[in-house]
Each structure stands twice: as C-alpha cells, then as structure tokens.
Amino acid sequence: MKNFLVPVGNSKDSYETLQYAVDFAAHFDAVIYVMEVLNVSTRAGDLANTSEKFLASSRERIREVISHVDTKSVTLKAATYTGDLIDGLKEIDAELGIDLIIIAPRSVEVDEELYLGSTSGSIIKRTDIPTLIVPKGAKFTPYRKILTAFKSGVLKRNRILNPLIAIKKEFSSKISLLLVKTPGYTDEDLKINTALMDVSSDVTLTEHAKTYLGVLEQLKVHEPDLLCVFRRKRGFFSALWEKNRILKSEFSVRIPVLVLSVKKD
C-alpha cells in the first residue's frame, strides 16, 4: 500500500483523522493525498463559474488542516476536484491509484446519534476502494489482533485481501475469522477462500439473524484492535448499506473498521 487518501471535512477536529493516517502511513512509506469534502451533492455545473476560486479555497483549507499535524517523514499532497465527491474520488483513483481511503465515521455531520454519516457512508457505498473507518479522536497503535467477519467465505479475487495481508505483514497481526450463518445460508457460503484461510490463525462459526449481530457478540470475545468486513450485496451491513447514514443504535464500534469491497462479486 503506497497511496492513501484522506477526505477532510469542515469540522475543527478534521486534523485528528489525518494525524491517525500519518501515523499509520509511516509504517508503509506511503504518500497521503488530502482531499477536502464539502458536500456529496455538489455538482460540477454548480461550480462551473467558480472553479478557480473553489480550488484555491480548497487548497487553503487543506493547508490549514495539515498545519495541525505532525507529518513526520510522510509526504502529504493536496488532491483537488470539482464536482460530485464520488466522481472526484473515482477520478483521483484513476489518476493515482488509491490503495486505501482513511475516513472518520462522520466527515461533516455533527449528529451524535450517527455512527456513519451520509458523506462517509456514501464514500464506502459508492466506491470500490478499500476504506479504513477511524473512530473520532482515536490514536494509532499497531493492530495486533484483527477480527475478520463475513457471512460467506467465497471471494472471487484474492487481491481483495491485499490491504489485510499488508497490515498483517507489517504488524505481525493475528487474524481471527468469524463466519456468521444467517437464515437462508447455503453450503457454498460455508466455504472459505484459501487465501483468507492462509492468513488466519483460527475460525469461529456462529449463527445469528443478522451478520452484524454475530459480530457485536464476538467483539466482546476476541477483543480485536481492528475489525475487517466485506462490502458486498449479501454481506456485512447488507441491510444497513441500503442507506448512507447508519445510526449508533443500529451499529457502533470503538475500534477502527477496515472495509474491503467485493461489490463486483
């Protein structure tokens, strides 16, 4: 992993997520591209007559956030765009090749009842880029124990696991697998990708009405430093991902969450 992207909002503590990203990226000798987030509904046509002003303002805001961060030896660069946020992300990814997006659960919203705000939720839901959700105010520490949860162990492409494998290699992490059987599961779902088995040390099988309910139960048992889940049509959060915003009453964790996208499976 060499190219990270960190969207920053207009909250006064946006720099906290960026500091976390810097501390994490230092272990991978990665470059961080900092991107200002205004509004997911901003359209290119709305900015057609103010493009230069917008870009200048965006760069200034990014410089302001970076000024509050100890950059260490990590290179930080501004990533600017005009138009829709997701289109901008895809454009930057196509140009640079983003290996990981690092976000706060709520990039812009201040609603304390939300775990995942509409901006952060939209980033995860509408892109195929691996994403690390970092709790507000979290300080980076190496991930020693990782819980990887899913309702189907079938993966069509092993490269989906690249971020997880890179993290395990760097921090000598212990990876535990959690397969949650939900109503309507098939025998095919119980098969686990060999590459996923190769990086893990143990497997837990549990049964619940919803995948995330099994996860919440096993978080207390495994006490991981990082939760890894798959973003897929029939996977973790399959019901929750139908919308961008996720309430804390629906799901909330106090550890980072790595979301690996398998939406094309």
pLDDT over 90 at 196, yes or no: yes
d(CA 135, CA 244): 17
Q: What is the mean pLDDT of the chain?
A: 83
Q: Is it the case that residue 239 has pLDDT exceeding 60?
A: no
Among 135-139, 146-150, 170-174, 239-243, the range scoring the smallest mean pLDDT is 239-243
pLDDT, position 250: 57
- b/e string for 228-243 if b means 16 or more Cβ within 10 A? bbbbbebbbbbebbee
- 60 falls in which pLDDT band (50, 70, 90)? confident
Position 173 scores a pLDDT of 98
Q: Which residue type sits at 138?
A: A
- Say what the pLDDT of residue 132 is: 96
**Tokens 């996977």 found at:** 235
- pLDDT digit string, tens, across residues 134-168: 988 899 999 999 999 998 888 888 999 999 999 99
Q: How far apart are CA 92 and CA 35, in angstroms?
A: 10
Strand partners, 77: 33
Residue 126 token pair: 């509408």
Query: What does the pLDDT look like over 98-141, one tens digit per residue?
Result: 999 999 876 544 555 656 666 777 777 778 899 999 988 899 99
Strand 257-261 versus strand 131-133 pairing type: antiparallel
Report how far apart the first and last C-alpha atoms of the chain are (Å, whole number).
22
DSSP letters along 126-182, please? Answer: H--S-EEE--TT-------EEEEEES-B--S-GGGGHHHHHHHHHHT-EEEEEEEE-
What pLDDT was estimated at residue 216? 87
How is residue 213 annotated by DSSP? H
Q: Which domains does the chain have, with CATH numbers?
A: 3-133 (3.40.50.620), 145-261 (3.40.50.620)
Q: Over pLDDT 70: what percentage of the chain?
A: 78
Query: For residue 3, what pLDDT band results from cuts at 50, 70 and 90?
Result: very high
What mean pLDDT do residues 166-173 have?
A: 97
pLDDT in the model for residue 44: 47
Q: What H or E segment, with its residue span, contains residue 89?
A: helix 85-96
Torsions phi, psi for 224 (to 5 deg): -80, 160
